[in-house]
Homo-oligomer: A and B are copies of this chain.
Amino acid sequence: MTTATRCSVAQQTLTKDLLVKMHKYWQAANYLSVGQIYLLDNPLLKEALKREHVKPRLLGHWGTTPGLNFIYVHANRLIKERDLNMIYITGPGHGGPGLVANAWLEGSYEEFYPSIDRSAAGMQRLFKQFSFPRGIPSHVAPETPGSMHEGGELGYAVSHAFGAAFDNPDQVVLAVVGDGEAETGPLAASWHSNKYLHPVNDGFVLPILHLNGYKIANPTLLARLSKDELTKLFEGYGYTPHYVELKQPTFNEKLESFEEIHTAMATMLDTVMDELTAIRAAAKAEMDAGKPITRPKWPMIIMRTPKGWTGPKEIDGKKVEDYWRSHQVPFSDMTPEHVAALQTWMKSYQPETLFDETGALKQELVELAPAGIKRIGSNPVVHGQVTKDLRMPDFRKYEFKFDKPGTASCEATREMGKFLRDVMKDNEDSRNFRIFGPDETASNRWNNVFEVSGKTWFADYFEADKTNDYLSQDGRVMEILSEHTCQGWLEAYNLTGRHGFFSCYEAFIHVIDSMFNQHAKWLKTTREINWRKPVPSLNYLLTSHVWRQDHNGFSHQDPGFIDHVVNKKAEVIRVYLPPDANTLLSVTDHVLRSRHYVNVVVAGKQPALQYLTMDQAIKHCTKGAGIWDWASNDEGGEPDVVMACAGEIPTMEALAATDLLRQHFPDLKIRFVNVVDLMTLQPEEEHPHGMSDREFDALFTADKPVMFAFHGYPWLIHRLTYRRNGHSNIHARGYIEEGSTSTPFDMVVVNQLDRFNLAIDVIDRVEKLQKTGAHVRQKFVDKLVEHEQYIAEHGDDLPEVKNWKWPY
């Protein structure tokens, strides 16, 4: 622990000259931040400020900004002096003005946005665009150079920082965490990421917890703990917290009053960088000696400075600086008094000492920033510019072979795991592929991956681990029982150009619904930014799905993530429901090669019947949806009914229903359609994978009854197809929130997705069966009664159902 006072006494990192310049650079960033929030014109305040120079609508956030600017200027010194490769994760919401200001000062901004150049006119445009319609948001956003983290929804700064650091040993990731954000669950869990960071093979993460004391309208919890509690909390999390604390607010005060805090911060950053370097050296020595690495106590900084620092102390007699009132625009009712107050505030930064006549930053200050891609705003790693393709083994060679469709069984995700194992192996030297899961890698049957990589673990090892737990200090399998942390790590791993797969129980992926939203929005926006390049897609395997919760029951049943996903922009969303192992392999290959999507793959992990050879699977997946001729008897002609399905279990039930119907109604012409790529169902104008109406009708007909057995909530099928010609003939079955701990077949029965109900539905809907089929219909009803009796007695499914195989 080191306080500001102790630091400034202990060391003199900064010469007086450098200190003065850094202070000015900071003041320049603050000036530009205030200007962005307030000014439409008169950017250099060359004339007296008038109401018409101020924006008509004042929208933006000041509170966190000066602290972020302070850190930025100190980060610049560190980068320059140590030639670091550093990125800056801005946890606090609404830090936009600060990061934009700094990117402008260092020249990154004008390289991406030539019209916003470092001139008075450029400064005016910089000010105007901020929080202006069709301009840029008040958060650090995709539009902000150097960013890979949106400050909009809070909680992910630390997991993003670690995700960016994994496998990037030369990277320093500075992560500023706001004390508001620190109250969130995802953030609170993610501090434990330090048990997953390799001191030699991964980069450095330097968290700065910024205690500015207030949120929108409340104090923050962490700023209101005793220092003893706060220190213990972070020591408990496994860090060595270092303090940089400002003792008193400083608005309008002279440079001397800032000297202490600048010195403290500079000294502390040097101290911390030295610690990090020493940690790496010690770990390297242990590695070289063939010893396990001792988990380091990673350094972090707790910086306590006032919210709205350097802003007005009071407005209209009410406390603003060091208080929540500085959160947004400190005053927005632009009375003449307030216009004058704004001028006083902005002049307090002495713009004439910061910018020259043309509006450019004075040369002596320009030199403080690093150059080229060392500038935080120009680091290619966060702009998608460093992606390296995966070396992909040929997925065809993992084909699950069988004689006849629907007769042999395997666990689809286990076959996928073999493929992933080799993806991992083939890219070992690139160190750019990892898999993520909340304690579910083995449960989800990816065990083969452990043949080539262990599970990263820097917490304590026990004797028992030596047997076969695959724990490893250099693993590529990331397991923590926090979906939030897994998601945050993978998002950042992707955004910095690396590849991965997240396997999760289907129901619990909803834990990260909101993170998905933010990531999808990030992808949508960055697609439209030309200096950002496409990044690897975020890939989900959802398994342990709704239909196979034999152990877990109702709480583990929710197939609605798909519904959530399809609300986002079609350009970035893909949803796949491969019905068997070979289709899953084909989809896996495809999604790992894809860029800038969120790919949701839903597949089974339990033994299940297999249908398509690899050749068939590739063709089927390429089309996304198609007729299975071997299961149809319409012989290329017009069918009486279409039996459609999507998903592993519905496919089996639809096939079994087809079998029943063909047994009892040999003349009934059934067309069997399977959908792998769910988005093919949407009209082509709504999703890039959408079928044309002609293609849709060619599969589903425009006028025949369609039974659609669906993996998820049935109404999603209607939502996707409501514009189709034959929509009124589509009858969808799916999960309707029924059932709990039960057998696989009982689950489909209680949700009316089973073979008997599907067959009954067909009889009820095909005109020519409505009379002639009554007897058979009754048979199927009787079968359902028989099921009820059998399960109550035996706790198991009817043998004829359990042992069913495709007979043709």
Q: A residues within 8 Å of B by Cβ?
A: 40, 55-57, 59-61, 128, 131-139, 141, 150, 152-155, 180-181, 183-190, 192, 195, 213, 215-221, 224-226, 229-238, 318-319, 322-323, 328, 439-443, 455, 457, 459-462, 464-465, 467, 469, 471, 479-485, 507-508, 510-511, 513-514, 517-518, 521, 524-525, 550-556, 558, 560, 563-564, 567-569, 713, 715-716, 718-719, 722, 727, 737, 740-743, 746, 791-792, 794-796
Contact = CB atoms under 8 A, between A and B. Distances in A.
A145 B720 CA distance: 42
B439 A139 contact: no
Nearest to A712: B567
B567 A554 contact: no
Contact of A133 (B185, B457, B718, B741): B741
A214 to B, nearest CB: 9
18 contacts: A57-B795, A61-B551, A134-B746, A137-B740, A141-B554, A153-B556, A183-B480, A184-B481, A185-B187, A185-B484, A215-B481, A217-B441, A217-B443, A232-B233, A510-B513, A525-B554, A563-B567, A567-B713
A195 B221 contact: yes
A690 B755 CA distance: 30
Given A459-B224, A554-B525, A439 B513 contact: no
Contact of A555 (B152, B461, B483, B507): B152
Q: Which 10 A-B pairs have the closest CB atoms?
A: A152-B555, A233-B236, A185-B185, A224-B459, A188-B188, A137-B553, A232-B236, A510-B514, A183-B481, A185-B189
B217 A439 contact: yes
A760 B215 CA distance: 44
Nearest to A718: B722
A66 to B, nearest CB: 18
Nearest to A136: B741
Contacts of A230: 236
Nearest to A443: B216
A378 to B, nearest CB: 24
Contacts of A558: 517, 567
Nearest to A322: B464
A555 B231 contact: no
Contacts of A195: 221, 224
Contact of A183 (B131, B440, B443, B482): B482
B236 A737 contact: no
A762 to B, nearest CB: 20
Contact of A229 (B219, B238, B323): B238
A552 B483 CA distance: 26
Contact of A236 (B185, B235, B480, B485): B235
Q: How many copies does the complex hold?
A: 2
Contacts of A216: 439-440, 442-443
Given A183-B482, A232-B235, A554-B521, A439 B567 contact: no
Contacts of A550: 57, 59
Given A184-B185, A219-B457, A560-B567, 8 more contacts: A56-B796, A61-B551, A183-B482, A185-B187, A185-B189, A564-B564, A567-B737, A568-B737
Nearest to A191: B188
Contacts of A184: 185, 189, 481-484
Contacts of A181: 481
Contacts of A794: 56
Contacts of A743: 57, 133
A496 B27 CA distance: 54
Contacts of A485: 185
A180 to B, nearest CB: 5
Contacts of A59: 550-551, 741
Choose among A237, A552, A716 the residue with the greatest number of B CB atoms under 10 Å from its CB.
A552
Contacts of A232: 232-233, 235-236
A791 B56 contact: no
A224 B460 contact: yes
A134 B551 contact: no
B555 A153 contact: yes
Nearest to A722: B718
Nearest to A551: B59
Nearest to A736: B569
A479 B152 CA distance: 19
Choose among A221, A233, A328, A741 the residue with the greatest number of B CB atoms under 10 Å from its CB.
A741
Given A57-B795, A155-B185, A328 B459 contact: no
B553 A133 contact: no
A56 B567 contact: no
Contact of A135 (B136, B220, B464, B741): B741
Nearest to A55: B795
A537 to B, nearest CB: 18
B215 A238 contact: no
Contacts of A483: 184
Contacts of A554: 137, 141, 152, 521, 525
A319 B462 CA distance: 13
Choose among A184, A233, A719 the residue with the greatest number of B CB atoms under 10 Å from its CB.
A184
A467 to B, nearest CB: 7
Contacts of A55: 795
B741 A552 contact: no
B226 A460 contact: yes
Contacts of A471: 218-219
Contact of A459 (B186, B221, B716): B221
A686 to B, nearest CB: 9
A469 B480 CA distance: 39
A91 to B, nearest CB: 12
A189 to B, nearest CB: 4
A186 B185 contact: yes
Contact of A514 (B442, B508, B518): B508
B225 A229 contact: no
Contacts of A136: 741
Contact of A741 (B138, B518, B742): B138
A188 B484 CA distance: 12
A467 B319 contact: yes
A137 B552 contact: yes
A410 to B, nearest CB: 19
A229 B218 contact: no
Contact of A795 (B132, B465, B482, B715): B132
Nearest to A441: B217
Given A236-B236, A238-B225, A462 B137 contact: no
A792 B134 contact: yes
A185 B180 contact: no
Choose among A134, A215, A441, A461 the residue with the greatest number of B CB atoms under 10 Å from its CB.
A134
A457 B55 CA distance: 38
A162 B685 CA distance: 50
Contacts of A40: 795
Contacts of A524: 737
Contacts of A556: 152-153
